[in-house]
Homo-oligomer: A and B are copies of this chain.
Amino acid sequence: MEMKMHGWTGNIATIDLDSGAIKHAPLPKDLARDFIGGRGLGVALLCNRADPGVDALHAPLILAVGPLTGIAPMSGRHSFVTKSPLTKTILDSSGGGFFGSELKRAGFDAVEITRESDSPVYIVIDDGEVSIRDASDIWGMNVRKTTDLLAGRHRGRVACIGRAGENCVRFANVMNDYTHACGRGGIGAVVGFKKLKAIVVKGTGKPGVADEEAFKSANEEVSRLLRASPPLKSLSTYGTPSLANLISRFRLLPTRNFRDVQFRDGESASAVSLESSTSPVSSMSGEHIKENYRLKRHSCHKCSIACRQSTQEGIEIPEYETIAMFGPDCENSDFDKIMDTNRICNDYGMDTISCGSTIACHQEICEESCDIAELAARIGEREGLGRELSMGSKAYSDAKNAGHASMHSKGLELPGYDPRGALGQALAYATSNRGGCHTRAYMIAPEIIGKPKLIDRHTLIGKPGLVCVFQNLSAAIDSIMMCSFSSFALSSEEYSNMLSAVCGLTYTSEDLLRAGERIWNVERLFNLRAGFSRADDTLPDRFFGDYGIVQAEFEDALGEYYRFRGWDPEGVPSERKLEELGLRLEIG
């Protein structure tokens, strides 16, 4: 296949933080074709550089954008890929905002960052020029200050870590454009371990499009579908907190460290902020927030949904997941407290899901109630109890001989949907290759929200194939780099039409899903070689049993999932499957 490099910039920068060497290399065309960009490209580049057995904090870090970044609707995104210091799995973590589009305009598809610096540094990427700068004066600052300072100094877009990343909190984020997070799995700890405080990007390039007419047509179709979508309209109106009432009504709301599935007044640790007639959950719902705060909406680059909200004063409104974890899961019904804790996490650069769940785990083990805001700050500082909790709930509970109290899969804390009430999501959690994550295959969409079609949430039968479809499509969307929310409205055809128009290649729907499957299989191989096995594709014991998921049915479904994937009964991809996907790469 003759490839023009439309969509891609064609350039990769490699930065050795130990030697300070900076290299430029062309993006291999076959890699771009097969792994597309973003998550897929990052995964492929990581596997070329890293032994899956490497100690996580020492792993290379890949920053990548996709061929649609900054071009298509909902495409203002970028992805970090490395080995997770929290889960030891392969990890990609993507974020929105404006940073990704700026990196593309600065002329790079990917930036590989290897080894560690002795002293704090930050990287400046300015229209093709890459330099390493001294960060001694900003080391120790949290995210807002760091961003203020570097954005002011360079007039560029800033991705940085806060104190949590510096302190290698195992669930530290990289934050960009102030409040956008590359969260889950501790990308920020890897960055902090490298003594890399920030990356600043400035770009004036204009990404080209191969076929303007086809792009216009694909763009119109996509825009029409995005405008028509009811769930996107709801996100646009209420942000992700629009989920709170729905999830509570279906009794999926993680409550008291997943010991209950609905949050009631009587169980709330603090009911100060509640009117007596309002249930704690509805007081945290999108509808309630909209009524009670004067809100501003914020969008990422190229997005008309604008699902992020803040108060008029600029205080960020927490996402649904954050509300679920710092609210019901921590037995907290004080929404202002959730707002405060969210702000602290964002400023320290910490994953609110893992932070909230780890606090909930601690509360269960020690049978005590904590001030979540104060404890979050101590975790970010890694002091006292915060130091213990900074390793995540699994390490913490194991150290306490109370592993049963960590609500994780593969070491990643589960997000705001109880798996007992959505069995497809349960299987998706268990088979997720970065641990207990909802974005690998958001089965909540068909099982609860009813998109694209409602399916029976109480059965595992018929789900394994669907979970694979969702996983493959999500991997593809994360690689072309569009926001996963777009999949409420679009199917693979619209994505592949857009990709074909931008790149000047012919990607069919099948090609796109095949790329997603290829990426998923490479990620699986990485994890297998890092020591994971079938036994890790599971959930906490709490979710199994008479009132939960039937273990035998779950094992059957897992077996069928492997069969559907073309993997052996231990979950190892068959030679035939790898051949079919054109995977000959030696990982590590």
Question: Residues of A with Cβ closer than 8 Å to B?
Answer: 221, 224-225, 227-230, 449-456, 459, 461-466, 468-470, 473, 491-494, 509-510, 513, 560, 563-564
Contact = CB atoms under 8 A, between A and B. Distances in A.
Contact of A564 (B459, B473, B492): B459
Given A221-B230, A228-B224, A466-B466, A491 B461 contact: no
12 contacts: A225-B228, A225-B229, A227-B228, A230-B494, A450-B491, A450-B509, A451-B452, A453-B470, A453-B473, A454-B491, A459-B465, A462-B560
Contacts of A451: 452, 491, 493
A509 B452 CA distance: 12
Given A225-B228, A493-B230, A455 B459 contact: no
A492 B465 CA distance: 21
A493 B228 contact: no
A224 B232 CA distance: 13
B221 A454 contact: no
Given A221-B230, A230-B221, A564 B454 contact: no
A509 B462 contact: no
Number of copies: 2
A421 to B, nearest CB: 13
Dominant secondary structure of chain A at its interface with chain B: helix
A501 to B, nearest CB: 14
B450 A563 contact: no
Contacts of A449: 493
Contact of A455 (B221, B228, B461, B469): B469
B230 A454 contact: no
A461 B564 contact: yes
Contacts of A470: 453
Given A452-B452, A509-B450, A462 B459 contact: no
B228 A450 contact: no
A444 to B, nearest CB: 14
B224 A227 contact: yes
Contacts of A462: 462-466, 468-469, 560, 564
Contacts of A468: 462
Given A230-B221, A494-B230, A560 B454 contact: no
A465 B454 contact: no
A171 to B, nearest CB: 31
A172 to B, nearest CB: 34
A228 B470 CA distance: 22
Contacts of A513: 454
Most buried by B among A449, A452, A453, A494: A453
A461 B461 CA distance: 10
A452 B453 contact: yes
